[in-house]
């Protein structure tokens, strides 16, 4: 008896992958599903049943915002029982933010949600769109012998590699290898065969349902430390009305200049209930609070460690935790735990 045909829902949001060149301005702009129909007819005759759902409005991903993340999560939820997996085509510019946000919003995910896109539009001969999209669909449909998803995670598939979505950063604006997960090995590599690193995949509790959590608090800012940063700049950010949390981007293993005014300002902020999390400006490696005096000072000012999390994952985790919880201590506790593989705590 042949196995039942798998079904994958492709939600396309716009991005370069589906763009066309505007005749008048010469700039790339989002276009509809017709592009895929014309340039990838194989999508409609594959061994997998592929259905398309356009996101409205179609966007350049520079325009993405938290309500759109929630809308995408609701689309997955309302179609959850009808498909074996999901692919979201999305612009590369903010894909790592959207993938991170959805990894928190789709709690206890039991099916694959694979983000992909391309550096060249699907209609261009040398485009990376076909390979990225076709393999993303195959991964979204992949099941083990018991019929469970092989990768029940929010992931990004790009240039032959499958990454955990909340570990990714867009690293290149030109080459096809646009993404990298600096602190976590790829979940799979696609060559002649797709080789899964099963030991790296995060598995859900199969006896529990997927739960949607889409409340977001946007009272979050990023404060990047740089040589010459002044007290005025730091205080201007920390005094933003309705600020609830700050991603503090520091040097190396989590260090900041030793000026007393800096620690006084940070301590006053944390004492007033603002959550501040230390994230290294390095793309690879982890914060180690207390390794140097300069980060011990931050610890004493009430700043929390972000370990090896990406800025994209930390920002969206803060928005999600603050949206879903009223209790600041509970948020702080959850920030020190990896919820869905977004950081490594040793
Ligand atoms: N600006 C485009 C976007 O993010 C770039 C891309 O798709 O790669 O929508």
At 143-194, the pLDDT tens digits run: 999 999 999 999 999 999 999 999 999 999 999 999 999 999 999 999 999 9
pLDDT at 172: 95
Compute and round to an integer the Cα radius of gyration of the chain.
21
pLDDT at 1: 43
Return the ligand 1 atom nearest residue 16 CA.
7
Whole-angstrom distance, CA of residue 237 vs CA of residue 216: 20
Handedness of CA 268, 269, 274, 280 (dihedral sign): negative
Query: How remote is the CA of residue 54 from the centroid of ligand 1, in Å?
Result: 16
Max Cα-Cα span within the chain: 73
Return the ligand 1 atom nearest residue 17 CA.
7
Which residue among 14, 15, 17 has the greatest number of ligand 1 atoms within 8 angstroms of its CB, and so is best to mutate? 15
Q: Is 255 helix (H, G, I), strand (E, B) or coil?
A: strand
Return the ligand 1 atom nearest residue 178 CA.
8
User: Contact, 168 vs 179, CB < 8 A?
Assistant: yes
User: Contact, 85 vs 51, CB < 8 A?
Assistant: no
Report the 10 Å Cβ neighbour count for 281. Answer: 13
Nearest CA to ligand 1 atom 4: 91
Query: How remote is the CA of residue 93 from the centroid of ligand 1, in Å?
Result: 5
pLDDT at 24: 85
Residues in the chain with pLDDT values less than 70: 1-3
Whole-angstrom distance, CA of residue 7 vs CA of residue 194: 19
Strand pairing class (179-180; 169-170):
antiparallel
pLDDT at 3: 66
- State the virtual CA torsion across 264, 265, 271, 272 in degrees, nearest 10: 150
Report the predicted TM-score, pTM, of the whole model to 2 decimal places: 0.95
Query: How remote is the CA of residue 118 from the centroid of ligand 1, in Å?
Result: 8
Which residue has tokens 């899964």?
Answer: 196
- Here the tokens at position 264 are 């006084």
């Amino acid at each position: 008896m042949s196995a039942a045909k798998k079904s994958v829902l492709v939600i396309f949001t716009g991005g370069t992958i589906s763009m066309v060149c505007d005749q008048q301005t010469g700039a790339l702009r989002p276009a509809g599903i017709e592009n895929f129909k014309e340039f990838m007819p194989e999508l409609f005759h594959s061994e997998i049943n592929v259905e398309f759902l356009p996101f409205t409005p179609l966007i350049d991903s520079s325009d993405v915002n938290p309500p759109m993340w929630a809308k995408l999560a609701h689309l997955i939820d309302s179609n959850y029982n009808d498909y074996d997996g999901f692919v979201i085509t999305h612009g590369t510019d903010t894909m790592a933010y959207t993938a991170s946000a959805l990894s928190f919003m789709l709690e206890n995910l039991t099916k694959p949600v694979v983000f992909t896109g391309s550096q060249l539009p699907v209609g261009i001969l040398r485009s990376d769109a076909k390979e990225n999209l076709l393999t993303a669909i195959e991964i979204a449909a992949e099941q083990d012998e018991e019929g469970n998803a092989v990768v029940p995670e929010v992931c990004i598939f790009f240039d032959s590699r499958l990454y955990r979505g909340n570990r990714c950063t867009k690293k290149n604006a030109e080459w096809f290898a646009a993404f990298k997960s600096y602190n976590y090995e790829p979940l799979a590599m696609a060559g002649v065969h797709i080789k899964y690193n099963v030991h790296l995949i995060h598995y859900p509790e199969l006896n529990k349902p997927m739960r949607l959590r889409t409340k977001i608090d946007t009272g979050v800012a990023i404060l990047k430390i740089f040589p010459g940063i002044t007290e005025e700049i730091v205080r201007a950010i920390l005094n933003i009305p309705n600020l609830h949390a700050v991603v503090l981007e520091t040097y190396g293993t989590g260090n900041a200049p030793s000026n007393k005014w800096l620690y006084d300002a940070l301590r006053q902020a944390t004492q007033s209930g603002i959550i501040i999390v230390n994230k290294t400006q390095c793309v690879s490696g982890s914060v180690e609070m207390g390794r140097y005096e300069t980060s011990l000072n931050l610890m004493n000012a009430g700043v929390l460690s972000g370990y090896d999390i990406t800025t994209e994952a930390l920002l969206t985790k803060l928005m999600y935790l603050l949206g879903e919880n009223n209790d600041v201590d509970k948020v702080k506790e959850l920030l020190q735990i990896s919820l869905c593989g977004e950081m490594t705590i040793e």
